[in-house]
Amino acid sequence: MANNKQVEERMGDDLMFGKIERLESASGATLAYRHEAARGEPQGVLMICHGLVDHAGRYRHFADFMADHGFEVYAHDHRGHGRTRSADAPIGRFAAKDGLYKVVEDVIAMRDLVEQRHPGLPVILFGHSMGGLIALNTAVSHPDRFDALSIWNSNFNTGVMGRIAQGVLRIEKMLKGSDVPSAVLPKATFRIWNARMPEKRTTADWLSHDKAAVDAYVGDPLCQFEASVSLWQDVFEMSYRGPKLIQRLSKQLPILLVSGDQDAATNDGREIRWLAEKFRNAGFSDVEDKIYKGMRHETLNEIGWEKPAADFAAWAARVTARKKSVVSQTE
């Protein structure tokens, strides 16, 4: 269990929802997290894991939306991101070593906090992009802690190219260390993906068709860094580890997988389809996948984001109601 010492911190900017609070994780990190309280009778808890070079405050409108649908919403900044601080995790790095396991430990610190604040409420773990990698790795490491899992815009099918990338990262680490930005991986991912976009307007056009959302990201002071060699290594380790361990999960676990058909990071949604089939072929009985037409990587920051959000809210309502029904029948 984490030490749940909390220090509330009021913030005046509009980069986050609610207020920033602090939680001491057993990993050694001081987590910065946000909480949006459910409007009306709480139906469940939604825990959000944000993406790479991202932070929890960018999910404000989604948190508002889900709070309106009766969910207590929590989101924290991962190690090396946003306002979370740890001696071994400067901006752009999970940790000097064991980064994957420490970032999972931080999610569990948040899960423990949720249990203390909202005992008995069903808990959904949600992850976008890198956050989806973190969410699945957390779920397979702690298979009894979550009542449903939703992964958005994540690629677990990196295949041979992923192994080549890992080799490149090992060379970079050998030549210059692991605590510096990778010179190669941003060019092989973000910049290639952005080059496919017709606008040629910013360095982040690949995220969304919504120019205001893209401009907000480009101008966000908490998104102005390059991921380190070690962080990229942790990302690829998560992409391979998660699918290998899905047999640890309950075959009845509700799973929702989402992407857009113009999401360069998921090969236009095909890698989400791949993950859905991976689960179904392993015997999972409650797997849904949705690929939204005309949407890029940040589905929840796209033009028309309300439709995917509404579909998610309906799914979340179904799975939490089902969980409550099962619990009431066993009491």
In this prediction, residue 181 carries a pLDDT of 87
Q: Which residues contact 156 (CB under 8 A, 6 or more apart)?
A: 133, 136, 239, 240, 242, 243, 271, 274, 275, 278
Over residues 260-296, the pLDDT tens digits come to 999 999 999 999 999 999 999 999 999 999 999 999 9
229-244 vs 130-141: helix axis angle to the nearest 10? Answer: 50
99-117 vs 130-141: helix axis angle to the nearest 10? Answer: 70
Over residues 212-241, the pLDDT tens digits come to 999 999 999 999 999 999 999 999 999 999
Residue in the block written with tokens 């203390």: 116
Over residues 126-167, the pLDDT tens digits come to 999 999 999 999 999 999 999 999 999 999 998 777 888 888
In this prediction, residue 161 carries a pLDDT of 79
Q: What domains, with CATH codes, occur in the chain? A: 20-330 (3.40.50.1820)
In this prediction, residue 328 carries a pLDDT of 56
Locate 312 and state its tokens.
């998610």
In this prediction, residue 329 carries a pLDDT of 58
Could you give the 3-state DSSP secondary structure of residue 255?
strand
